[in-house]
């Protein structure tokens, strides 16, 4: 495994974030079922991918140097 990716591109990280938020919500009396957590992780990954694409495109548009 030599390839790398951003921390935010990791489903494991997003799963951990959702699990953490779910545990805090549980302390406050709100329960998030595991099935709902899976849906939230998928949605978060989709949003993160879309934001990454937007940042990449915007970055290329506003770049001041050419790509070789």
Nearby residues of 7 by Cβ (< 8 Å), 6 or more positions away: 13
Looking at residue 2, its pLDDT comes to 67
Q: What is the chain's alpha carbon radius of gyration, rounded to the nearest angstrom?
A: 17
Looking at residue 51, its pLDDT comes to 84
* Global pTM value: 0.54
Nearby residues of 60 by Cβ (< 8 Å), 6 or more positions away: 67
Q: What is the pLDDT of residues 24-50, one digit of tens each?
A: 888 898 887 888 888 988 888 888 888
Taking alpha carbons only, the member of 37, 60, 50 closest to residue 9 is: 50
Position 13 confidence tier, pLDDT thresholds 50, 70, 90: confident
Burial class (CB in 10 A: 0-12, 13-18, 19+), 14: buried
């Amino acid at each position: 495994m030599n390839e790398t990716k951003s921390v935010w591109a990791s489903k494991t990280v997003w799963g951990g974030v959702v699990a953490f938020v779910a545990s805090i919500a549980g302390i406050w009396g709100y329960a998030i079922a595991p099935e709902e957590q899976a849906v939230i992780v998928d949605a978060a990954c989709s949003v993160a991918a879309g934001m990454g694409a937007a940042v990449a495109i915007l970055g290329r548009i506003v770049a001041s140097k050419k790509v070789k």
